[in-house]
Amino acid sequence: MAIVKADAYGHGAVTVAETVLAAGARWLGVATIPEGIELREVGIKAPILILGAVNAPEEIQAIAHWQLQPTLCNPFQALVFSETLAAVGKSIPVHLKLDTGMSRLGTAWQEAAEFARLVERSPHLEIASVYSHLATADSPDPRIMNQQHQRFRQAIGQLSAAGITPPKLHIANSAATLSDPSLHYDLVRVGLALYGLYPAAHLQPVLSLKPVMQVKARVTQIKEIAAGTGVSYGYQYIAPRDMKLAVVGIGYADGVPRNLSSKMQVLIRGKLVPQVGAITMDQLMLDVSAIDDLQIGELVTLLGQDGDIEISADDWATMLGTISWEILCSFRHRLPRVTRASSASSACSCPEGLGML
């Protein structure tokens, strides 16, 4: 199951979904009904699991209409689904979520059999899978993950004792997929790893991943400033010497975190260049004093590889004290998504000054 929620972690849900299905994925996972509808509207017919909780009757009707597959998290939700579907005369496959230690969505694993029996009694609900989610699969210490796995196994035993055999069982996210084959069951839900990033550094030896996303923009203006000149809002940066500045057409409204101001570097012609001053809504400034004969319109790589140097979402996440998932999901829709079968070319077809993913 390829997880393409949050616009495929900022990469473009439709393009990613079509690509992964062509490459062999059988299922898609999204968080919300609109995310599922977006895929159905372009003709994608693969089964789509809604990972988030749904409770409103109009949402349930939309799920049935668009042939999406919901997650049921508790008996009350199952009853609402059953009543709503009975009123419209429709039946749908559903996926039962068990809480084995995440303390988020799901029925307590100890109540798995009771929950499943309730769903089985509804003529409008068909159990398609039983699943859970791991809280610490990215930790080098497997003890909590193993505890959750043991609870999941016990829940499966309860179901078996009750004569219930779900068509599918699943618990593995990207980290669990990479770290422990015993967690694979009938399908694995691959998210971050699908986009070429590791859920944790200790998983890097398992296989080689290459980040899919590159973020690029263009130089829109070049100017000389004297030592002592303030740069950008609040004069958070004062030029320590005469320098050459380049303005680049991308900012925090596009997803470049403002907290990276005067901390981040970008790549121009394969060289690291420091960003200076406060990152603004639509633009940021670079100290390009070391780049000879820089031209307006030249390409700037914020994330990605240029020459022998690569800047990754992990680099930004480390500077900000966050995780790469948040970085990827932050890039806004006004950035054009340019898709390539190969990254061999570094040409950019985006309009001058406009950022691109």
CATH number of the domain where residue 320 is located:
2.40.37.10
pLDDT exceeds cutoff 70 at 343: no
pLDDT in tens, 112-125: 999 999 999 999 99
Q: What is each CA distance from 102 to 51, 52, 147, 325, 329, in whole angstroms? A: 14, 14, 11, 18, 22
% pLDDT > 90, the chain: 94
Whether 233 sits among the annotated catalytic residues: the reply is yes
Q: Are residues 166 and 219 in the same domain?
A: no
In a domain, 341, yes or no: no
pLDDT in tens, 151-180: 999 999 999 999 999 999 999 999 999 999
Q: Are residues 117 and 246 in the same domain?
A: no
pLDDT exceeds cutoff 50 at 351: no
Residue ending a domain, among 181, 206, 231, is 206
Residue 224: which H helix or E strand, with range?
strand 215-225
Q: Are residues 37 and 127 in the same domain?
A: yes
Cα separation of 298 and 315, whole Å? 23
Q: Are residues 156 and 237 in the same domain?
A: no
Q: From the candidates 210, 233, 235, 263, which is the catalytic residue?
A: 233
Q: Are residues 197 and 312 in the same domain?
A: no
Alpha helices in the chain (DSSP H): 5-9, 13-23, 33-41, 57-65, 75-88, 112-120, 143-161, 174-179, 313-320, 324-329
Q: How far is CA 289 from the centre of its chain?
A: 36
pTM for this prediction: 0.93
In a domain, 107, yes or no: yes
Cα separation of 353 and 168, whole Å? 49
Q: Are residues 146 and 219 in the same domain?
A: no
Q: Are residues 16 and 154 in the same domain?
A: yes
Q: Are residues 34 and 130 in the same domain?
A: yes
Q: Are residues 166 and 185 in the same domain?
A: yes
Q: Are residues 236 and 182 in the same domain?
A: no
In a domain, 345, yes or no: no
Shortest CA distance to 246 belongs to which of 276, 206, 201, 271? Answer: 276
Other beta carbons less than 10 A from residue 270's beta carbon: 12
* Number of structural domains in the chain: 2
From the number of C-beta atoms within 10 Å of its C-beta (0-12, 13-18, 19+), residue 253 rates as: middle
For residue 341, what pLDDT is reported?
74
Q: Are residues 194 and 243 in the same domain?
A: no
Of 20-34, 157-171, 225-239, 325-339, which range is least confident?
A: 325-339
In a domain, 355, yes or no: no
pLDDT exceeds cutoff 60 at 346: no
Whether 235 sits among the annotated catalytic residues: the reply is no
Residue ending a domain, among 206, 225, 244, is 206
In a domain, 151, yes or no: yes
Place of tokens 């319109």: 297
Other beta carbons less than 10 A from residue 125's beta carbon: 21
% pLDDT > 70, the chain: 96
Q: Which domain holds residue 202?
A: 2-206
Q: Are residues 221 and 73 in the same domain?
A: no
In a domain, 344, yes or no: no
Residue ending a domain, among 162, 181, 206, is 206
Cα separation of 53 and 324, whole Å? 25
Cα separation of 184 and 191, whole Å? 14
Looking up residue 28, the CATH number of its domain turns out to be 3.20.20.10
